[in-house]
Structure 1
């Protein structure tokens, strides 16, 4: 009898394990290959979902038909969005073009003198230790300067060319934007018809699961946003206080800019603070250079120790699971995976937790 029970439990475990493996594979294929193709429609549905409370409010308090309220809300949203996109995008492109056009000049006026200073220090040290090696050091320094100068010029031209390629890719982006706008009109006008049609296609358990996922995703997204807002706020405070103590001008604006950049996994605080600190040290401003590097070290230690804990606490996951899901997510799916996989894991855990609670509740009734 015990062996039969053991076999049944093992069989149930194997079936459940195989089911979750297939589910994970389907999710991976969907996110990796299908999502880029369906992204305009997914974006349109998300916009319709987010505008639903606004549409309901206008419909309830103005007496307008829901269809009219939906169209007005969506038009207002796109007017605001496109205005911000054009203004911010134009300024950003012009700023980047200006920065990279002036990069060779910046190298000649700022970085090259710093490198020359390092070269003089190395030459003095080598001359005192081994005068015969002086010619080798001079030759290496000359080649290094030439290589760096060429790299900066090449980088400048490549980035400017890259901006041109981005401009060439605008037609494709424009087509995606038009599809998103048209699809979002259909979604906001017939939101309940679309969701009702999808619900009819699903079995009863599928409907329950869909509503559970929807409820969990909304909750988790709010908690995730709150967690990263806390982290960004903490980074901003650390930067602002540190830059004030170092007497850096425009401390507030610089701290705000670096805190926003810090959220991005590819960039982070070090993208700005480390080069800033090193160049400042080379130019001879040791208090500011050392202060910036110490500030970066403090921010990094605090961020690395708190991020899994804060995010895990907000979304209800153990810090280790949060860290693993963030690492796997960013490795498989890039920037979106950093946030997407922890959210997906949290939704899954919450659904399983809710199922367990329901089963316990039913068993208590029996």
Structure 2
């Protein structure tokens, strides 16, 4: 390795380190602050073709079409999320509220019957063991009862305290809606203003990145829609085999929740499994566990492959970036880090950046 190659190697390492630091700072500290405005711009960007189509077809002013479609989009999405969220919260809360009653009338008598049978069997062998078994039974019964009560009160308290996050969430949604309206109404004016302020050599790059970002957004939605359909089919078949009432409706509800940030299928199925175990429905809980494991395995195989194919990354790179992004930044990093890698790959492939590319005269 020549001295120039060593210098280039060191410069490339410094360059990559700076990019990593900038990305980390942006995702960790800046992205959350500007998220409402990023959402606003993305909504306006994604709705732009539809706004132009509606405006031309119905001969409406572009601004009126923009306002109507932006508001309609937010009303539709918020209504869906609210319906799913309320159904989920009511389901969990009702199940938790019934835990003490279920314990008193089902679990505690079942524990008593089990130890009563053990006492009868032990008395025939060793009468001194009866008192020991009775003490153990009383201890287990008391401990289980206190755990059930604590779980019930803790979950209800958590659900109630989570209401405190609603004001900040509502404020973020308001700013996202308002910014979407401004971006959609004056989209051409805003984008032209920004383009005119940039050096001419960077204008084409910004345009390319905008097209890339729009494509990535649509491809992400397409990939996750496919995943949601696969999850729904798995859930519907599994719940029908387990003879769950209204299995198709329950499967659809869980699949929609799985599409939403943070919660996922486990946010519904795991509490459901614990509730069934507490109620003593062990075969059903085992069936739910097997179904959840199947869904998790299939999703972990399909998700990196589908999204990787859609946005042009190898499934292994996609899997690593999703895992690292989720571990470091949470759900935002789960999405943002793969997108960042796609953008860097695009810039690299199109000679916009020159990481590890040697000059021709070396």
Q: TM-score, normalised by structure 2?
A: 0.78
- How do 1:342-357 residues align onto structure 2 when only pairs under 5 Å count? 342-355=338-351
Cα deviation 1:199-257 (Å, max 9, x = unaligned)? 23333454333333322222233333333333333333233333334444333223334
Cα deviation 1:47-93 (Å, max 9, x = unaligned)? 22222122212222233332232233334334445555665555555
Question: Does 2:130 match 1:104?
Answer: no
Question: Does 2:61 match 1:65?
Answer: yes
Equivalent residues of 1:221, 1:343 under 8 A apart: no
Equivalent residues of 1:59, 1:66 under 8 A apart: yes
Q: Which segment is superposed worse, 45-54 or 222-231? A: 222-231
Equivalent residues of 2:304, 2:319 under 8 A apart: yes
Q: 1:339 to 1:174 in 2, by over 3 A?
A: closer
Q: Which of the numbers 182, 185, 190 marks the counterpart of 1:189?
A: 185
Rounded to whole Å, the distance in 2 between the matches of 1:227 and 1:126 is 60
Equivalent residues of 2:100, 2:152 under 8 A apart: yes
Where structure 1 has 5 or more consecutive residues not aligned to the other structure, the ranges are 357-366
Q: 1:156 to 1:9 in 2, by over 3 A?
A: same
Match of 1:167 in 2: 163
Q: 1:185 to 1:271 in 2, by over 3 A?
A: same
Match of 2:238 in 1: 242
Q: 1:276 to 1:29 in 2, by over 3 A?
A: same
Match of 2:16 in 1: 20
Number of matched pairs: 350
Question: Does 2:45 match 1:49?
Answer: yes
Q: 1:78 to 1:319 in 2, by over 3 A?
A: closer
Match of 2:270 in 1: 271
Rounded to whole Å, the distance in 1 between the matches of 2:126 and 2:196 is 84
Local SS of the residue matching 2:245 = coil
Equivalent residues of 1:212, 1:351 under 8 A apart: no
Question: Does 2:178 match 1:179?
Answer: no
RMSD: 3.7
Rounded to whole Å, the distance in 2 between the matches of 1:273 and 1:95 is 10
Match of 1:254 in 2: 250
Q: Which segment is superposed worse, 86-95 or 165-174? A: 86-95
Q: Which of the numbers 227, 232, 238 marks the counterpart of 2:228?
A: 232
Where structure 2 has 5 or more consecutive residues not aligned to the other structure, the ranges are 353-362
Match of 1:200 in 2: 196
Aligned-pair distance for 1:331?
A: 0.6
Aligned-pair distance for 1:142?
A: 3.5
Higher RCO, 1 or 2 (CA under 8 Å, sep at least 6)? 2
Equivalent residues of 2:27, 2:333 under 8 A apart: no
Rounded to whole Å, the distance in 1 between the matches of 2:251 and 2:78 is 28
Rounded to whole Å, the distance in 1 between the matches of 2:124 and 2:263 is 43
Q: 1:252 to 1:14 in 2, by over 3 A?
A: same
Match of 1:330 in 2: 326
Local SS of the residue matching 2:322 = helix
Q: Which segment is superposed worse, 113-122 or 288-297? A: 113-122
Rounded to whole Å, the distance in 2 between the matches of 1:327 and 1:213 is 25
Equivalent residues of 2:45, 2:214 under 8 A apart: no
Q: 1:305 to 1:97 in 2, by over 3 A?
A: closer
Rounded to whole Å, the distance in 2 between the matches of 1:170 and 1:290 is 36
Q: 1:80 to 1:219 in 2, by over 3 A?
A: closer
Rounded to whole Å, the distance in 1 between the matches of 2:270 and 2:205 is 43
Aligned-pair distance for 1:189?
A: 1.8
Local SS of the residue matching 1:355 = coil
Q: Which segment is superposed worse, 243-252 or 329-338? A: 243-252
